[in-house]
Amino acid sequence: MHVTVLPRRDGGSAGPPSSPRKPWLAALASFLLPGLGQLYNGRFRKGAGLLCLAAAWQLLGIGAVETFRWWLSSLAGYLLLSLYAAWEALRTARRLTHFVPGPRNSLPVYLGAVALMATAAIAAGQAERWAFPIFAVAQTSMRPTLRSGDRLRCQALRPRDIVRRGQLVVFEYPSEHSLIFVKRVVGLPGEVVEVADGSVYVNGDPIDEGYYAMRGPGRKSLDMPPARLAPDEYYVMGDNRYASFDSRSFGPVNRARMLATPLYVIFSRDDFGRVYWDRIGLPAR
């Protein structure tokens, strides 16, 4: 019996087709979401590690918001993490010219990574807005300390937090809670407060204030006769005593209406769009 053996063609036993990785896509994915490009490259352990690190960075970075320097350092650190992840994904993808996608190189895996980062970002954003809200100054009553157009990073006041004299506070207007003001505390609960020619007297003695606007010749300040504050009331005034709508007009502020205390200026821009770069990062004191 004669048997003819046919030669085997090259590639006759080939497995799944290869799919070379696109370096630009891997780098872009990891820059936007650190670790996603590594998943795309099939480096699942490294990708999962970078994703978890980025998520933890967003959540734990909330505490860094309390000071401008640490907040800026936190942002710079996250940017460096994104740049490293993008560089590593780009370098790896260039070597994967014969990459064969595995079962974890699938759309559900990529969407799961995006969902993880989106959840962490939303949770961090909501927690930051609650603990360190941002309020805008729209008045001139706090000049020279604050100016109209300042965006203030603040720290939310909890019921057990102590409010001290000289502290800046953000509060709801006593008779209209939708209006938000920022003033300085000059009188504490139980004290007798008097205002005469812009100067504040507490229990008959003048208090030392070096932060409000200087007196101008011929300018008249709104005065207030002596009045005792209730156990939960605070007397607040603007630093610009001659152009401030404060407790001299609407009375003391209840502690329950105090929302936050300003920490620093996060951004400053006037009504014409001019940005005051020199004010960014200034402490609000």
Task: Tell the burial category of 111 from Cβ atoms under 10 Å away from its Cβ (0-12, 13-18, 19+).
Answer: exposed
Residues 6+ apart with CB under 8 A from 235: 185, 186, 187, 188, 191, 193, 229, 247, 252, 253
Radius of gyration of the chain (CA): 30
The whole-angstrom separation of Cα 65 and Cα 53 is 18
The 3-class SS string of 95-150 reads HCCCCCCCCCCCHHHHHHHHHHHHHHHHHHHHHHHHHCCEEECCCCCCCCCCCCCE
DSSP symbols for 12-70: TT--SPP----HHHHHHHHHHSTTHHHHHTT-HHHHHHHHHHHHHHHHHGGGGGGSHHH
The whole-angstrom separation of Cα 238 and Cα 146 is 10
Catalytic annotation on 141? yes
Place of tokens 């505390």: 185
Catalytic annotation on 175? no
The whole-angstrom separation of Cα 217 and Cα 228 is 31
The whole-angstrom separation of Cα 283 and Cα 166 is 14
Catalytic residue, from 46, 183, 247, 268: name it: 183
Residues 28/79, Cβ–Cβ less than 8 Å:
no
The first and second tokens of residue 105, run together, are 């190189």
| Residues with catalytic function | 141, 183
